[in-house]
Amino acid sequence: MAATTLSLSRARVLAASSGWAGATLWVGVVIAGHLLGASLVARDRFVLISSPPLVGELDLRIDLALVPAIVLAVAAVRWAPPLAARLRWRVLLVATWAAGVAWALALAASAGLDAIAAPLSTRYEYLAAVPSVESPGSFLTGFVGALGTYPIHVKGHPPGMVLVLWLLDSVGLGGAQVAAALVIGVGALAAPAALVALRAVADEGWARRAAPFVAFTPAAVWIATSADALFSGVAACGLALAALALYSDARHRALVLGLAAGIVLGGALMLSYGIAPLGAIVLVLAIARRAWRALLAIATGVAGVAAAFALAGFWWPAGLAATRDLYFEGVASRRPYEAFLLISLAAFALTVGPAAAAGAARLQDRRVWLVVGAGLMSVAAADLSGLSRGETERIWLIFVPWIGLAAAALVHQRRWLALQLALAIALQAGVRSPW
């Protein structure tokens, strides 16, 4: 009995130490990315990472406008973990989405209510391109040829987001306020979608433990209101459907869900080229499950969307090639590949927070590792590609929920959740981000 007690104590000590080791590594990556970025900015201010490793300006703002975010953070630390354990599953999913929306809005509103929609109103954003759309067909046909004439964020993406905003405008729902509501609402769907996927691959207990961390994430600073949040939400819904398809024992259901997953993921690819690395999650799960029919259904759905856009005039590989050429002629030419391998990771580390790193270091369940590990593979692929040199606090929002699931492995959830929330408030109060 004494030996068993001693071995359990040692196991707890090792688990706790591994968690802190992960958090220490997280701190090291952030500090190294900051120092390396600062050295680059000192030599060339047009590297455009004014608060390395982040884009934006250091601007500490501590006032009463932060009170709602602080109150929500305190309430989350007190009640989110027990509620996540007790709520009915479907209620938990809705609550996770609502919490994500509230958290993003509370943070953004601390800079004033106008600040919520302001990032989407600039001349660099998608709304600025909406007036140039005479018809979807002509826009798609001429998109690659006219790429250099569009706002900078349109240049860096497929035409899907502009078409979504054009459609809203055509039915009388144009403008930055509607776009902001869409971005935040869809962006917050990434959290419950990731929980659905984890429940399908592992079990409900793991998903419940992860819920507070994917809802109250430091990435919320950029969920309101970067269009990349919308891309994250759409992709996460597609991946959730893919997980349900791949882990379904009913053949017909697997094929239907797989086709639906492929259509949603195909749509996500028309919003952002950066979605492609998330295919690692689908492949890893399919190989682990040996679900070849479901994988074929998913691929069929993706191919169908790509074919539909190609017939309408937009060929995805041609768009990616044109975007790549423009990117390397622009700011990427001032951002060294090797340096930004680390700087990009450091910016991303701030969006997922130390709890994700600590959880990954402690995580031992193979099923959860299938999802988290595949998410890390996606991040590595995106980093090594060199197509996202900096600005990954928003560009890599698509990866955040999948890495954030690792926090389910943490024992002292309230402590780690408090640390995550404090980091988000510090980022909101200390850095004036353009998004």
Per-residue pLDDT of the chain (435 residues; tens, 9 = 90+): 544 444 444 545 555 677 889 999 999 999 999 999 999 999 998 888 989 999 988 888 888 999 999 999 999 999 999 999 999 999 999 999 999 999 999 999 998 888 889 999 999 999 999 999 999 999 999 999 999 999 999 999 999 999 999 999 999 999 999 999 999 999 999 999 999 999 999 999 999 999 999 999 999 999 988 999 999 999 999 999 999 999 999 999 999 999 999 999 999 999 999 999 999 999 999 999 999 999 999 999 999 999 999 999 999 999 999 999 999 988 888 999 999 999 999 999 999 999 999 999 999 999 999 999 999 999 999 999 999 998 999 999 999 999 999 999 999 999 999 999 999 999 999 998 887
Total domains present in the chain: 1
CA distance 215 to 225: 16
The DSSP code sequence of 408-430 is GG-SSHHHHHHHHHHHHHHHHHH
Taking residue 264's Cβ as centre, other Cβ atoms within 10 Å add up to 24
Contact 265, 239 (CB under 8 A): yes
pTM of this structure: 0.94
- Output phi, psi for 218, to 5 deg: -60, -25
Token code pair at residue 382 = 């995106």
Report yes or no on 1 lying in a domain: no
Query: Beta strands of 157-220 (E only): which ranges?
Result: none
Taking residue 6's Cβ as centre, other Cβ atoms within 10 Å add up to 10
Q: Which whole-number Å values give the CA distances from 45 to 119, 389, 433, 435, in the listed order?
A: 22, 15, 17, 20
Report yes or no on 3 lying in a domain: no
pLDDT at 363: 96
Report yes or no on 382 lying in a domain: yes
Report yes or no on 351 lying in a domain: yes
Name the β-bridge partners of 58: 431
Report yes or no on 94 lying in a domain: yes
Give the burial class of 364: count Cβ atoms within 10 A of its Cβ; 0-12 exposed, 13-18 middle, 19 or more buried. exposed
Q: Which domain holds residue 121?
A: 13-432
Give the burial class of 266: count Cβ atoms within 10 A of its Cβ; 0-12 exposed, 13-18 middle, 19 or more buried. buried
pLDDT at 35: 97
